[in-house]
Chains A and B, each alone.
Chain A
Amino acid sequence: GNSVTQMEGPVTLSEEAFLTINCTYTATGYPSLFWYVQYPGEGLQLLLKATKADDKGSNKGFEATYRKETTSFHLEKGSVQVSDSAVYFCDPNQGGKLIFGQGTELSVKP
């Protein structure tokens, strides 16, 4: 079945720093790739997605590119804000339950 390896947190950055959260996956076939975000005290919500190779998902300044050759979907943001502090989950999905691990906690300091 599908699996994912995600950068361990917590990741602590200063405001306006560059962010990369690595995500690599194993899958049979071609999954759709998702990043979900969970802000403190809230449920999960979709951050961005990509459905085929070389697609770039983007939202709220975050980007991730579907890299089939490296089976990766790294999350990046050029300048983080305090409000980006949350837990981020990468999910390679071909239907069914979410495939994610512990998530990566991001803490942005002013």
Chain B
Amino acid sequence: GAVVSQHPSRVICKSGTSVKIECRSLDFQATTMFWYRQFPKQSLMLMATSNEGSKATYEQGVEKDKFLINHASLTLSTLTVTSAHPEDSSFYICSASGGGYLYEQYFGPGTRLTVT
């Protein structure tokens, strides 16, 4: 099956710094990538949808200047958490879709961000 990787898997950063998380589709071209965050014991919350070569579409309540998303190629999307604060600590998961009939999505393993 298709594989999506995320890097890093865990990151600890200090408050006020920025952190970049990469999401890569390893063996297929991802026309669309999605970024989710998940709080403990909660469902995933969609943050934004990104299509290669265009600006990301953010969900209501998600600050686009704080969570910068770049989808520069069909195999790579990045999420940058700018000026991170402790409340940004969360589990961030990306998923990728190659489009087509099945609409199946492939998930990355997630990135645990801890802001101290």
Contacts and interface: CB of A to CB of B under 8 A. Distances in A.
A87 B42 CA distance: 10
A75 B90 CA distance: 29
A95 B110 contact: no
A100 B43 contact: yes
A43 B110 contact: yes
Nearest to B111: A43
Contacts of A45: 107
Interface residues of A, number: 23
Contact of A44 (B42, B44, B49, B102): B44
A49 B95 CA distance: 16
Nearest to B46: A97
Nearest to A105: B41
B34 interface: yes
Contacts of B77: none
Given A42-B110, A43-B93, A100-B43, A51 B102 contact: yes
Contacts of A31: 103
B43 A43 contact: no
Given A97-B34, A98-B95, A46 B104 contact: yes
B67 interface: no
A101 interface: yes
Given A44-B93, A44-B95, A95-B97, A101 B43 contact: yes
Interface in B41-58: 42-44, 46, 49
Interface of A: 31-32, 34, 36, 42-46, 49, 51, 87, 89, 93-98, 100-103
Given A97-B34, A98-B34, A98-B44, 8 more contacts: A43-B107, A43-B108, A44-B93, A46-B106, A95-B97, A97-B46, A97-B49, A103-B43
Q: Report, nearest first, the 6 A-B pairs whose CB atoms are least far apart.
A: A43-B110, A44-B107, A93-B103, A102-B43, A43-B109, A95-B103
